[in-house]
Amino acid sequence: MSSRTQRFTPQTTQEPVLSPEPQVESLGTQEVSQEPTEAPTPTPTSPPTLSAAPLVQSASDKVPTPAGNQHQANALTLESVIEGVKRSGSVQANTAINGMEAYIAKMTPNKILDKNEGPNAQSSLWRTLRGVLENTNEEFNQTYSIILGLFEKHKNGVFHERYVFRFMADAPLSKDELFAFQAIINLIKLTADPVSRNSALKQVDIARSLGKVFSENARQRILGFYGL
């Protein structure tokens, strides 16, 4: 028994020395005092993340980004862009954001809806999307990018295939409107992820997706956004 206690005592005295916490603290104090030139190295990493907010407003998805932190960075960027539009954006852009947020809140999965709420919410989403394509001018790229970002953010929730087409058969829309509505949702869902957007564009006929419901101006806005 005495020999065991002697074996354990040196281990317990050495563990604090080998533990990472004292080393991190001692190295931190030495680096600050002896090597001040290395301190600025971490600082450039945060400004690019914050300054990336304008990327949401354009189709800059041609620049592939590592998938690791892509979702978190996009979420932060999306939040900042939405807040900026709410502060100083146009009426059309704010109307679109409010419409999207209202739809997401109303149509949250597992939320109980009566026979009128669901169809009316789908009709409201259609008016929101159509309004963006038809009425947004100089802020179209930014507003449409926000919609893509919201679809991507909620792709496993309200905009999942299981939920996004609920109540459409009962929505107060014409046959042509219903076709265009489903087509534009499919287009947005396919191209919501900026990483796979270019390859997804090869799988969809945008001219057919826009159909005969949207105006020529709306079609040109969409084609211009995707660089087609």
Q: What is the pLDDT along the chain (228 residues), one digit of tens a residue?
A: 444 444 444 444 444 444 444 443 333 333 333 444 444 444 333 333 222 233 333 333 333 333 444 455 455 689 999 999 999 888 999 999 999 999 999 999 988 888 899 999 999 999 999 999 998 888 999 999 999 999 999 999 999 999 999 999 899 999 999 999 999 999 999 999 999 999 999 888 887 778 778 999 999 999 999 988
User: Which pLDDT belongs to residue 53?
Assistant: 30
Q: Let me know if residue 88 belongs to a domain.
A: yes
User: Which pLDDT belongs to residue 75?
Assistant: 55
Q: Let me know if residue 60 belongs to a domain.
A: no
SS3 81: helix
Q: Let me know if residue 116 belongs to a domain.
A: yes
User: Which pLDDT belongs to residue 7?
Assistant: 46
Q: Let me know if residue 192 belongs to a domain.
A: yes
Domain that holds residue 86: 78-225
Q: Let me know if residue 6 belongs to a domain.
A: no
SS3 89: coil
User: Which pLDDT belongs to residue 58?
Assistant: 37
User: Which pLDDT belongs to residue 74?
Assistant: 56
Domains held by the chain: number? 1
Q: Model pTM?
A: 0.67
User: Which pLDDT belongs to residue 11?
Assistant: 44
At 70, which amino acid appears?
Answer: Q
Q: Let me know if residue 27 belongs to a domain.
A: no
Q: How many CA atoms lie within 13 A of 129 on its CB side?
A: 28
CA geometry: angle 122, 99, 163, nearest 5 deg: 35
Q: With contact defined as beta carbons under 8 Å apart, do 100 and 150 qualify? A: yes
SS3 112: coil
Q: Which of 145, 167, 36, 160 lies closest to 89 in space, CA to CA?
A: 145
User: Which pLDDT belongs to residue 127?
Assistant: 96
Q: Let me know if residue 214 belongs to a domain.
A: yes
Q: What does the alpha-carbon distance between residue 198 and residue 54 come to, in Å, rounded to a whole number?
A: 19
Q: What does the alpha-carbon distance between residue 197 and residue 193 come to, in Å, rounded to a whole number?
A: 6
CA geometry: angle 174, 225, 194, nearest 5 deg: 100
User: Which pLDDT belongs to residue 228?
Assistant: 83
Q: With contact defined as beta carbons under 8 Å apart, do 115 and 68 qualify? A: no
Q: Let me know if residue 122 belongs to a domain.
A: yes
